Structure 1
Amino acid sequence: MYNTEFPSKADLPTTDRLIRSTVIAGVSALAILVTVVLPSEYGIDPTGFGRLTGLTTMGQIKMQLAEEASAEEALSAAVASGTAIPSPAPAPAVETQQLAARVDALESLILELQTAQPTATVPTEVVPAPAELAAAPATIEAPALVAAPLWRDEVTFTLTPMEGTEYKLVMQAGAVATYEFVVDGGVINFDAHGEGEGQSLTYEEGRGVMGDSGQMIPPVSGTHGWFFRNRGSEDVVVTLRTGGDYQELRKLI
């Protein structure tokens, strides 16, 4: 049933040999622990063999990385739980006392400098006597400038439903006229156009507006203005104001 034969008693190791082998194995394991495992894993090098082989440096790096990982885990746990993060340790009492002494010395120096400065004499203002006040010439205020009127002409007219009218300015080429019209009671349509020197010009058109304002600068001399029409169903009141460089305002229709 067995492929091999049992060893004889003479072939078996003796008790002394087993003890000797066990002692040798233990000593070898201890030597490996002290010279290899401790330096490479924990940075502990009691024999100095780890520094020669570089195992101590590797172990120190491992321990530093482990400490940093532990600190990061503690910080993450503190942030997640909302607990306060511990503040750095306060400065030693000796440094605080030295700082306070320096502050006291600086304050004393500032007080000495302020005491040494001469006090400036503030000149008093001499109030003139009533006679002097009477003799002083009165200040004549210049008359306020009255602003020139913005508009030269202003007309107000009423337009019944579907009624139209036309007002034109007699102007020279390149002259600048300003205008403004406002509608009360509704909206109107208007057509800004001009005629002169054999030309017909269209400046602007508006539909359903409550008013408008701007400038008119004709390229040719002639009459330039607006045709107004009330397309609504109720009467409207229109006020037209004009100013600037023109000869006159005419009603054509």
Structure 2
Amino acid sequence: MTPPIVSTKTLLKSTIVATIIALIVLVVFILPAEYNIDPTHIGHRLGLTALAHHDDEAESKADIIVNAKQGQQVIEVTVPAGKGIEYKFQMAQYEKMTYEWITDGEPLYFDLHGEPQGDTTGYFESYAIATLSAMKGSFTSPFAGSHGWYWKNNSDKPVAIQLIVEGQYEVIGLK
């Protein structure tokens, strides 16, 4: 039995049809589910865009880049869409930190706060609460413990933060 011979014209048609189907699957299903990119809005109606946020907290980034300036650190953190993250530092009582943070545009709800070392009651003290896209200041820890920011992203897109810190602290990082 001889294999069927396929003409070049038939092969070309099959390739074009397969490419069109692959593009439709990419735009309608894969992009909304994997990357929250939904140009047709069909992915949202099918609930696929919710899948793109499934592992956002696990994928939150915190990159530390040590600047040339002695002791200054630039920390880049991404807050996923609709989620919140905490970034903390361990500080002894009366240690000082200067800080500046700025988002890539979107304002974030934040709470700059601290928790006393060894406390098991859940107590924390807030030092500043607002919704801003940037903040600059200095901080003296009133007690030994972990101190830092909780940022909440109420937008539908991830927001990048650049946090520049200098002072007396140990980085705990994302909590």
Q: Name the structure with the higher helix share.
A: 1
How many residues align structurally? Answer: 104
Report if the CA contact (8 A) 1:152-1:244 is conserved: yes
SS at match of 1:180: strand
Choose which of 70, 92, 103 in structure 2 pairs with 1:183: 103
- Supply the distance in 1 between the matched residues of 2:156 and 2:165 (Cα, whole angstroms): 28
Aligned counterparts, 1:141-156, within 5 A:
149=69, 152-156=72-76
Choose which of 143, 146, 150 in structure 2 pairs with 1:220: 143
SS at match of 1:161: coil
Aligned counterparts, 1:19-30, within 5 A:
none
Choose which of 101, 105, 126 in structure 2 pairs with 1:202: 126
Which amino acid letter does the alignment assign opposite residue 202 of structure 1?
S
CA displacement, residues 92-151 of structure 1 (integer Å, 9 cap, x when unaligned): xxxxxxxxxxxxxxxxxxxxxxxxxxxxxxxxxxxxxxxxxxxxxxxxxxxxxxxx8265
- Supply the distance in 1 between the matched residues of 2:114 and 2:135 (Cα, whole angstroms): 17
Report if the CA contact (8 A) 1:185-1:235 is conserved: no
Superposition RMSD in Å: 1.8
Aligned counterparts, 1:2-41, within 5 A:
none
CA displacement, residues 166-220 of structure 1 (integer Å, 9 cap, x when unaligned): 111111111111111100031111101101143521111011x111011111111
Aligned counterparts, 1:64-83, within 5 A:
none
Choose which of 82, 86, 96 in structure 2 pairs with 1:166: 86
- Supply the distance in 2 between the matched residues of 1:176 and 1:212 (Cα, whole angstroms): 17
1:161 positional shift: 1.4
Q: Which has the larger radius of gyration?
A: 1
Report if the CA contact (8 A) 1:151-1:241 is conserved: no
Choose which of 155, 172, 175 in structure 2 pairs with 1:250: 172
CA displacement, residues 30-49 of structure 1 (integer Å, 9 cap, x when unaligned): xxxxxxxxxxxxxxxxxxxx
Q: Name the structure with the higher strand share.
A: 2
The alignment's TM-score, normalised by the length of structure 1, stands at 0.38
- Supply the distance in 2 between the matched residues of 1:191 and 1:151 (Cα, whole angstroms): 25
Aligned to 1:47: none
SS at match of 2:128: strand
Aligned to 1:235: 158
Runs of 4+ aligned structure 1 residues displaced above 6 Å come to none
Kindly indicate whether structure 1 or structure 2 has the higher relative contact order, using CA contacts under 8 Å at least 6 residues apart.
2
1:156 positional shift: 0.9
